[in-house]
Amino acid sequence: MIQIEYLLVVSAVMMFAGVFGFLTRRSTLAILLSVELMLNATDLNFAVFNRMLYPEGYEGYFFALFSIAISAAESAIAIAIMINIYRMVKNIQAGELEQMKW
């Protein structure tokens, strides 16, 4: 028997681990990994609220599906930008990227 609070605690740990990584990581790729953690926690929350509070509906289910598609698009663009930056300056540390254009 699983209460809704147990699932919410799991996704809260995931979410705030992502917040911690986002605030403290130096490498931009590691920051992106933390963003993925946070997005995954919100997807889990959508599905949990749908399943536990309104099991006859499917709104949260579709939100989670679309959110997965959008986070895939986001990480593809972000990784293209990272590769381009690395080609330009040989470095993707967040503290050393100071110019918008080379």
Partner 1 sequence: MFVVLAVLIMLSSLATVMTKSIVRAATYLLFVLLGTAGLYFLMGYTFLGSVQVMVYAGGIIVLYVFSILLTEGAKDESFKRKAKDASWGFLLSLVGFVAFLSVVLTHQFKSEVLGGPSESASAVTTISSIGHGMLSSGEGGYLLPFEAVSVLLLACIVGALIIARKR
Chain contacts with partner 1 (rule: CB under 8 A): 1-10, 12-21, 23-27, 29-30, 32-34, 36-37, 40, 43-44, 47-48, 51-53, 55-58, 61-62, 64-66, 68-73, 75-77, 79-84, 86, 91-93
- How far apart are CB 77 and partner 1 at their closest, in Å? 6
Nearest Cα to 47, choosing from 31, 66, 60, 56?
60
- How far apart are CB 55 and partner 1 at their closest, in Å? 4
Phi, psi for residue 92 in degrees, rounded to 5 = -130, 30
C-alpha to C-alpha distance for 5 and 16, rounded to whole angstroms: 16
